[in-house]
Amino acid sequence: PGDKAGCDAMSAGEDAAWLRWVAKQFESIAGADRQIHLEQFKAALKVKESFFAERLFALFDSDGSGTISLEELLSALSLLVHGSETDKLRFLFQVYDVDARGGSSGAIDPAELRLVLRACLRESAVSLPPPRLDDLARALFEAADKDGSGSITFEELRAELEAFPGVMENLSISAVSWLKPPPPPERSRRPRYLTAAYWHNHGSQLAFLGGYTSLNLLLFTLAALRHAGLGGWVAVARGCGQCLNFNCAFIAVLMLRRCLSWLRATPVAQVLPLDHSVGLHQLVGYVVLALGAVHTGAHVANFSRLAQQDGHRALTEFLLTARPGGGGLGSTASQTGLALQGLLAAMLAFSSPCVRRGGHFEVFYWSHLSYVSVWVLLLLHAPNFWKWFVVPGGLFVLEKAVGLVVSRAVGLHIVEVNLLPSKVTHLVVQRPRSFRFRPGDYVYLNVPAIAAYEWHPFTISSAPEQQGTIWLHVRARGQWTSRLHEYCGHPEVPQPCGNLQRARWWRWAKVGEVSTGPGESRRLCSIKCYIDGPYGTPTRRIFTSEHAVLIGAGIGITPFASILQSIMYRLRKQSHDYKQGESLRGEDMTLRKVDFIWINRDQKHFEWFISLLAKLELEQAEQEPGGRFLELHLYLTAALGKSDVRAVGLQLALDLLAAKEHKDSITGLRARTQPGRPDWSKVFGKVAEERKGKVQVFFCGSPALAKVIRAHCERFGFRFFKENF
């Protein structure tokens, strides 16, 4: 009863269900002899390192028969599930006591500890040089060997673990998750859409959608009533037609990237959901397709009725031939309507994610250019469409003309490429003298050598204060980005597609003394390119925040790289005017605190921006000794946490060595790299406790993670913004 683990004991019913589940799982992996052999055990655990599978197998096999029976499995698991902290700790000690055979030798010597830590590194997908492994083993051994006897006893290990709260009581073996019964279904809760926090975070978006829906209903009703005397089908067709006039003009407004970027800097951004322009563009596209289908169907039904009444003309004659009073320019409303419906269906089909992200971007790009044909046909089809289209269409043409002139007026060059781990290409591009942008903005990049007509959006990863060049970090995911990375990696003998064969102007120069990390290469070059932009993103709001939380997943760090650099530029410039602890205020900046969270699965991914983060830490230490204006939080999701038997020793050693050397062994930063995924409840709970002012959370990463973070933000009442362009 004195142990906390006793509080976690199952009820009789839960215990019986768990025993049935274990027996069922045992039957699924055991052989015909109803015994689990070592290879079957390894396959079931799905561990990266056979060391732990063999150690666990030896401990589960209590009779030393070389196999595990159902009784032995239940006995070992009961200890881990129902056992006290002491029972779990003794199990851990036996795993680490490599000399133990059917018991324990009673002590862990330095060689055993080093062997276990090496296995822990492999299990957590962490790579460290052998000298660093020796440092970790030495740090943990010196801390645990209290009496200096040259070995670690069970009591000494217990004393060391007690210094780390939460480790002993939560000690588990995540590798045996296959033996855990499925969790019970969650109780139904009030839908998040009905919570006050959800409406607080989506107020402008929901209000806009409400107004948009109401306007469409109003337009439909007025047009339908005006033509009600011509029959029900005609009324429906005219109502949908009026809505199409509005939506086909409004969709052009959502394509005005320059205008929308300008509006983000005005008070209008507080009312209109400008940060969701891409999602709204897709929504309006679906609405246009649906209205077009109903509009066409209603006209076909009306023509079918007229054909039956006439008796001399077939339905196809109404649809395929121009006739007096048929509507549209030259009485071609039926023909232009069918052409429009076909173009809209093609645009929708080729805009699907499987086309855009499946290596067929060109199909999406060229099919989407048919919007020009759609607007031309609409002007021919609907006599009143020009009244709706004249203003947004004029702005669209003007913006396209300006973009074409600005982007093509000055031919730029990529002057340096750095090939980083995981197929990330760091491009250093000439910066035009008139090019002005804000942290977090993005540009469209065109490299004629890769594809003459393709423009792809990439976030600017350098700060606006950096003169002469801008940085872009491009991860090879699709066809175009993969070809760019391949081309930059093999300049001597390129393996291009299409226009790459005509790139004769590539000029490479050897770099003098350039230090690069493993898996990196850096080259000077001169690659012709064009950029269109810059365009704004939600991260422009960061400098009006009081407490900003920046969350980047993988390459999603790129907009925050620009922001963090800009913050430190401003901090350096204004440091002589402000005392430590006061808010950093000046121009449009009201920041008091910045928390930067970077989540990576692979250790190598940290190498993309590790030098930048190290520089930021150093600058903050120089300008604000002991200050916590900018806090870095790094997470390695492939690494196992402290509560796992296979990683507890490694994580304790990393903590001890970091405290001793004031730097992290994985990244070299002062900020300690945390294993596993963030506990968002704890992360945001800590942010709320700091009370630094209004909290705004900015995220760039996968949509799945965005949903999780958004839900937690709503729970804590934080504003949430996601990069979306």
Contact status, residue 98 vs residue 116, Cβ threshold 8 Å: yes
Q: Compute the distance between CA of residue 195 and CA of residue 41 in angstroms, rounded to an integer.
A: 47
Residue 216 has pLDDT above 90, yes or no: yes
Residue 109 has pLDDT above 90, yes or no: no
What is the pLDDT confidence band of residue 176, given thresholds at 50, 70 and 90? low
- Residue 497 has a pLDDT of 38
What is the pLDDT confidence band of residue 102, given thresholds at 50, 70 and 90? very low
Q: What is the mean pLDDT of residues 49-73?
A: 82
Residue 4 has pLDDT above 70, yes or no: no
Residue 668 has pLDDT above 60, yes or no: yes
Higher pLDDT, 90 or 509: 90
Residue 640 has pLDDT above 70, yes or no: yes
Residue 707 has pLDDT above 80, yes or no: yes
- Residue 9 has a pLDDT of 45
Q: What is the mean pLDDT of residues 368-380?
A: 87
Contact status, residue 458 vs residue 473, Cβ threshold 8 Å: yes
Residues sharing a CB contact under 8 Å with residue 172, sequence separation 6 or more, in sequence order: 80, 643, 644, 645
Question: Rounded to 5 degrees, what angle do the CA atoms 460, 465, 471 make?
Answer: 25
What is the pLDDT confidence band of residue 54, given thresholds at 50, 70 and 90? confident
Q: What percent of the chain has pLDDT over 90?
A: 9
Token pair, residue 702, equals 């996968």
Higher pLDDT, 694 or 516: 694
- Residue 291 has a pLDDT of 92
What is the pLDDT confidence band of residue 76, given thresholds at 50, 70 and 90? confident
- Residue 140 has a pLDDT of 86
Find the radius of gyration of the CA atoms of the chain. Answer: 32
Q: What is the mean pLDDT of residues 690-712?
A: 87
Residue 500 has pLDDT above 60, yes or no: no
Higher pLDDT, 382 or 182: 382
Residue 725 has pLDDT above 60, yes or no: no
Residues sharing a CB contact under 8 Å with residue 659, sequence separation 6 or more, in sequence order: none
- Residue 3 has a pLDDT of 41
What is the pLDDT confidence band of residue 12, given thresholds at 50, 70 and 90? low
For residue 268, what is the DSSP state?
G
Q: Compute the distance between CA of residue 263 and CA of residue 250 in angstroms, rounded to an integer.
A: 16
Higher pLDDT, 712 or 585: 712
What is the pLDDT confidence band of residue 501, given thresholds at 50, 70 and 90? very low
Higher pLDDT, 708 or 318: 708
Q: Compute the distance between CA of residue 673 and CA of residue 664 in angstroms, rounded to an integer.
A: 7
Cα separations in angstroms, 303 against 25, 293, 339, 442, 599: 65, 15, 17, 50, 59
Q: Which helix (H) or strand (E) holds 442?
A: strand 442-446
Q: What is the mean pLDDT of residues 99-127?
A: 77
What is the pLDDT confidence band of residue 634, given thresholds at 50, 70 and 90? very high
Residue 214 has pLDDT above 90, yes or no: yes
Q: What is the mean pLDDT of residues 553-562?
A: 85
pLDDT winner (highest mean) among 73-87, 295-309, 370-384, 504-518: 370-384
Region at 142 (left for phi over 0; alpha for psi -120 to 50; beta for the rest): alpha
Q: Which helix (H) or strand (E) holds 699?
A: strand 695-700
Q: Which residue shows structure tokens 């093509």?
A: 408
- Residue 244 has a pLDDT of 92
- Residue 509 has a pLDDT of 36
Question: Rounded to 5 degrees, what angle do the CA atoms 613, 617, 618 make?
Answer: 115
What is the pLDDT confidence band of residue 310, given thresholds at 50, 70 and 90? low
Q: Is 552 helix (H, G, I), strand (E, B) or coil?
A: strand
- Residue 490 has a pLDDT of 67
Q: Across the chain, what does the average pLDDT equal? A: 78
Alpha carbon 251 to its chain centroid, in Å, reads 27
For residue range 594-608, list pLDDT tens digits in order.
Answer: 899 999 988 888 888
pTM for this entry: 0.76
Higher pLDDT, 270 or 158: 158
Q: What percent of the chain has pLDDT over 70?
A: 79
For residue range 334-373, list pLDDT tens digits in order.
Answer: 788 888 888 888 888 888 777 766 666 777 777 888 888 8
Q: What is the mean pLDDT of residues 626-652?
A: 81
What is the pLDDT confidence band of residue 219, given thresholds at 50, 70 and 90? very high
| Secondary structure of 306-341 as H, E, C letters | HHHHHCCCCHHHHHHCCCCCCCCHHHCHHHHHHHHH
Q: Which helix (H) or strand (E) holds 417?
A: strand 412-420
- Residue 250 has a pLDDT of 92
Q: What is the mean pLDDT of residues 565-580?
A: 69
- Residue 494 has a pLDDT of 39
